[in-house]
Amino acid sequence: MIIFACFYLERIESKSEMKKYNFNAGPAILPRQVIESSSAAVKDLNNSGLSLIEISHRSSDFQAILDEAVALTRELLNVPENYSVLFCHGGASLQFCMIPYNLTRKENPPAYLETGVWAKKAIKEARLFSEVEVVASSADDNFNHIPTGYSVPENASYFHVTSNNTIYGTQMHTTPETTVPLVVDMSSDIFSRPVDLSKHALIYAGTQKNLGTAGVTMVIIKNDILGNVDREIPSMLNYQTHIDNGSMFNTPSVFAIYTALQTLKWLKSLGGLEAVQKQNEDKAKILYDEIDTNPLFSGTAKEEDRSLMNITFVMEDKELEQKFLEEANSNNFIGIKGHRLVGGFRASIYNAMPKESIEALVSLMQEFANKNN
């Protein structure tokens, strides 16, 4: 058995030398230690003789996992006392209806900023509950920037924005100033930088980009924004249910929460979110510098709104684009193809993306330009 195990391990090792550059937009690259520890816990949790996925969610073992995940979130994001940290089911898409369900007062239509496909989806669901005030949109420019100069009605139930637009490679680099409760979809940039939560009423994020695996959604909510609507809310869609039950109203996504915890530990080991932000700025600069100097490539997002998470770029010559894509694929670059709504290329460089992989992409772009310019 042991001899066989050694042989097996050796095989895995040699396999993993076939380096993959994972630029997927989400689910996306995760830190190797998160993958290793999650895999190990599925096999045997803490040397208990039981798998993570066969213990009771009411066990002290799982409660400790959930508690630590909440505590680390509070620490890393400096979450104020009067906010709750929740792990909900359903992905960010379920939040699109939970938010108006819990917050929309019909006589005070909520305000939305339209910055891309996901913002549009959020608006669509909000319209089932009331009128919606779209305060600004960059749709006419294929969402290549974050609109400015809009004003939010003072009586809006809330103001909803998407902080990072995965498809279009844009990101809000300042928090909107508003007097109404600010609700932010941070699905693709949560934990990539510090957030001043006191300026926010609710932030939420699917976990499959910067926080682990798909199957759970983090919601951080200011407790006192609830209880101001008179519609009846199904229990599972009511934030108060999940606050009252510590995210355990029903069986939570045990594995996804465990993976989130491993990611949070890793973030802490990097030195917290200031350090993570610095890394992300440095990493993004490497690729943006290449895009700006390489004669074959150009960025699609307006410079001041460029995302540090998803970098979108195109070539003028569509045949060359296809050639570069094939070149990237054959060199083990994964997920480089741009979304069909933007075309060209997209490099998603979330927290876990190593600098070396970005440098490898830059080298490929330089070699390609040398050969094809």
12 vs 373 by CB, closer to its own copies: 12
Residue found under tokens 């939570």: 252
Stretch that binds its own copies, among 33-41, 150-158, 166-174, 321-329 (CB under 8 A): 33-41
State the nearest-atom distance from the C-beta of 80 to its own copies, in Å: 28
CA-based radius of gyration for the chain: 22
Kindly identify the residues of this chain, within the stretch 309-348, that bind its own copies according to CB under 8 A: 334-335
Give the Å distances, CA to CA, from 246 to 67, 70, 219, 241.
Answer: 9, 10, 12, 8
Q: Which of 13, 140, 154, 230 binds its own copies (CB under 8 A)?
A: 13
The answer to whether residue 142 forms part of the interface with its own copies (CB under 8 A) is: no
Select from 230, 110, 213 the least CA-distant residue to 161: 110
Residue 120 annotated among the catalytic residues of the structure: no
Select from 121, 129, 138, 187 the least CA-distant residue to 158: 129
* 3-class state of residue 162 by DSSP: strand
Residue found under tokens 């990237």: 328
Stretch that binds its own copies, among 65-73, 107-115, 172-180, 231-239 (CB under 8 A): 231-239
The answer to whether residue 12 forms part of the interface with its own copies (CB under 8 A) is: yes
Residue found under tokens 């001041």: 304
89 vs 268 by CB, closer to its own copies: 89
Kindly identify the residues of this chain, within the stretch 239-258, that bind its own copies according to CB under 8 A: 249-256
In whole angstroms, what is the distance from residue 201 CA to residue 126 CA? 17
The answer to whether residue 260 forms part of the interface with its own copies (CB under 8 A) is: no
Look at the alpha carbons of 61, 219, 79, 167 in this order and tell me if their dihedral is positive or negative. positive
Going through the chain in order, the beta strands assigned E by DSSP cover 21-22, 83-88, 111-114, 133-137, 159-162, 164-165, 170-171, 182-185, 202-206, 217-222, 297-299, 310-315, 333-334, 345-348
Q: What is the DSSP letter of 108?
A: B
State the nearest-atom distance from the C-beta of 148 to its own copies, in Å: 29
The answer to whether residue 357 forms part of the interface with its own copies (CB under 8 A) is: no
The answer to whether residue 230 forms part of the interface with its own copies (CB under 8 A) is: no
Continuous H helices in 197-333: 239-244, 254-269, 273-293, 318-330
150 vs 249 by CB, closer to its own copies: 249
171 vs 208 by CB, closer to its own copies: 208
The answer to whether residue 6 forms part of the interface with its own copies (CB under 8 A) is: yes
Residue 244 annotated among the catalytic residues of the structure: no
State the nearest-atom distance from the C-beta of 177 to its own copies, in Å: 30
Going through 173-231 in order, the beta strands assigned E by DSSP cover 182-185, 202-206, 217-222
What x-and-dash track marks residues 73-92 binding its own copies by CB under 8 A?
A: ----------------xxxx
279 token code pair: 């890394």
Residue 185 annotated among the catalytic residues of the structure: yes
- The footprint of its own copies on this chain (CB under 8 A) covers a number of residues equal to 74
The amino acid at residue 41 is A
Select from 167, 244, 195 the least CA-distant residue to 74: 195
Catalytic one of 15, 61, 209, 285: 209
116 vs 206 by CB, closer to its own copies: 206
What x-and-dash track marks residues 198-227 binding its own copies by CB under 8 A?
A: --------x-x---xxxxx-----------
State the nearest-atom distance from the C-beta of 192 to its own copies, in Å: 17
Q: Which of 117, 236, 270, 286 binds its own copies (CB under 8 A)?
A: 236
The answer to whether residue 39 forms part of the interface with its own copies (CB under 8 A) is: yes
The answer to whether residue 302 forms part of the interface with its own copies (CB under 8 A) is: no
Give the active site residues.
Answer: 118, 185, 209
